[in-house]
Amino acid sequence: MKTYLIILLATASCFVHNAALADDFHYKNILIGERASGMGGAFSAISDDPSGLYHNPAGIVFSQENYFSLSANAFSTTTETYTNVAGGQNYTYKSQSLVPVFFGMTQSLGKHKYGFAVIVPNSELNDQEDTLTNLSQTNGAVNTFRRRFFKQDMTYLAGPGFATELSKKVTIGISIFGVFKTLKAIDHQLMLDNPLSTGTYFEQYTTQTKTTYGLLPKLGLQFMPTPRISVGLTAAVPYTLSGSGKVTTLKSAEDASGNLVTPNGTFTNDKTLSEAADQGYKIPRALQLSLGTALFFSKTYLLTGQVDYFGSASSPGLNPQSTLNLSLGQEVYLSDVFALRSGVFTNNANTPAVVVGRTNQLTHVNQLGGTLAGALCKPGSSLTLGLSYAAGTGQGQALGGSTAIQDVSLKTFAVYLTGSYQL
């Protein structure tokens, strides 16, 4: 029994590890901006509204004067399912959130533009109770696994931006965002022996907190060789300023006689993140590049595409691999006051592919997504309602210390409501 319990406890630890880092495995968890969110995030060659401070600050030169935009993520949900984890049963993580994801404004300063934006590029809230039963009918083996899991993982960006013209065809801009990341997690697992035997148990209770402060400067260029063609380029590298955190794990076990015993495995209590390299708070310092182009076929139709590159980096607990994401979007005005936007995008994992024979590998799932939005545009204001859906399958290891590989499916769905106002 004790050997099997050690495997399940490693599983529980791996659950915390994977769940705590799931947001860092992908780069397009939330699409930012009124027009960008409807066109699959392909916006670096346009960026002519306040969300340009995030996508390409050089583009805000072309935004309307005194422009305000507020985007509310009316509802978003993520479902991540591991198949055949234990006893032929699946295990699913479910995250739901309701948060405003963007607020921004731009103002004119002579021939220049400046602005300020507050952005939530990631928001996760897990709050679930799960029970896996009939895992084994063998006396002395684990029959029931119960888990109470809570996790709140948020990332905030806030900062100013400035843009100006270098010539009639070239603009340049810079944004400097302060980064605040916070994670709170509580994980309680209880493993019970087969009731036909002694009824012994093994219990583990883990809490985790993590806070990170950093900077994300973005430099953007926009080039319009003709009034119908635009090319945008953005470069960024995040920096960690400071951070802290703590992981506390308590374990207890009962033997066949009903006596509390010292559980097998390593006992950890009040471990700071600096002591636990696999729980490090630092943001991986990796180069981020976006290259996009937009074709303005007419006043009522545009087509835009974008390539996003995220470089590799060395970081405690997560060493992101070089990753490419593609997005393609279009905007068509069906009337003077109604615009329809649609797009497709990839949301690829920055983790390496899972390899047979290894243990404790991070989950690797690539997603393909689509967006659709309708916008009511009137002089001086607009209101947009949009949908985003992405899905993908891959592989992961739910059992820590085991070479077993599970198939994993990942689905995300979001509803966006955005309003803009021009003074």
pLDDT tens string 356-375: 999 888 899 999 999 999 99
pLDDT (0 to 100) of residue 422 = 77
Which residue is associated with the tokens 């243990």?
Answer: 359
Residue-wise pLDDT for 262-284, tens only, equals 554 433 444 444 444 444 678 88
pLDDT over 70 (residue 342) = yes
pLDDT over 90 (residue 3) = no
CB contact at 8 A, 140 and 1: yes
Q: Where are the domains of the chain?
A: 2-422
Q: Where are the beta strands (DSSP E) in 166-199?
A: 170-193
Q: What are phi and psi of 186, to 5 degrees?
A: -130, 125
pLDDT (0 to 100) of residue 4 = 40
pLDDT (0 to 100) of residue 19 = 46
Measured distance CA(237)–CA(276) in Å, rounded: 25
Q: What is the mean pLDDT of residues 90-112?
A: 87
Q: What percent of the chain has pLDDT over 70?
A: 84
pLDDT over 90 (residue 99) = no
Band of residue 254 on the pLDDT scale cut at 50, 70, 90? low
Q: What is the mean pLDDT of residues 335-345?
A: 97
**Coil, helix or strand at residue 21:** helix
pLDDT over 80 (residue 6) = no
Q: Would you identify the CATH topology of the domain 2-422? A: Porin (2.40.160)
- pTM given for the model: 0.88
Band of residue 315 on the pLDDT scale cut at 50, 70, 90? confident
Q: What is the mean pLDDT of residues 110-123?
A: 91
Give the 3-state DSSP-derived string for the chain, with helices as H, strands as E and coil as C: CHHHHHHHHHHHHHHHHHHHHHHHHCCCCCCCCCCHHHHCCCCCCCCCCCCHHHHCHHHHHHCCCCEEEEEEEEEEEEEEEEEEEECCEEEEEEEEEEEEEEEEEEEEECCEEEEEEEEEEEEEEEEEEEEECCCCCCCCCEEEEEEEEEEEEEEEEEEEEEEEECCCCEEEEEEEEEEEEEEEEEEEEEEEECCCCCCCEEEEEEEEEEEEEEEEEEEEEEEEEECCEEEEEEEECCEEEEEEEEEEEEEEEECCCCCEECCCCCCCCCEECCCCHHHCCCCCCCCEEEEEEEEEEECCEEEEEEEEEECCCCCCCCCCCCEEEEEEEEEEECCCCEEEEEEEEEECCCCCCCCCCCCCCCCEECEEEEEEEEEEEECCEEEEEEEEEEEEEEEECCCCCCCCCEEEEEEEEEEEEEEEEEC
pLDDT over 90 (residue 192) = no
Longest CA span, the chain: 84
Query: How many other C-beta atoms can be found within 10 angstroms of the C-beta atom of residue 126?
Result: 21
DSSP string, 194-233: -TTTT--EEEEEEEEEEEEEEEEEEEEEEEEEETTEEEEE
Poorest-pLDDT segment among 155-164, 200-209, 259-268, 333-342: 259-268
Q: What is the mean pLDDT of residues 216-222?
A: 98
Torsion sign across C-alpha atoms 106, 345, 356, 143 = positive
Measured distance CA(327)–CA(307) in Å, rounded: 7
Poorest-pLDDT segment among 61-70, 121-130, 211-220: 61-70
Q: What is the mean pLDDT of residues 59-86?
A: 83
Band of residue 12 on the pLDDT scale cut at 50, 70, 90? very low
Band of residue 199 on the pLDDT scale cut at 50, 70, 90? low
Measured distance CA(384)–CA(377) in Å, rounded: 8
**Coil, helix or strand at residue 186:** strand
Which residue is associated with the tokens 């997690």?
Answer: 185
Measured distance CA(201)–CA(253) in Å, rounded: 6
Phi-psi region of 147 (alpha: psi -120 to 50; beta: other; left: phi over 0): beta
pLDDT over 90 (residue 7) = no
CB contact at 8 A, 349 and 366: yes
pLDDT (0 to 100) of residue 278 = 44
Higher pLDDT, 397 or 329: 329
pLDDT (0 to 100) of residue 379 = 84
Report angle CA 169, 170, 176 to the nearest 5 degrees.
150
pLDDT (0 to 100) of residue 10 = 38
Higher pLDDT, 86 or 287: 287
Average pLDDT over the chain, rounded to an integer: 84
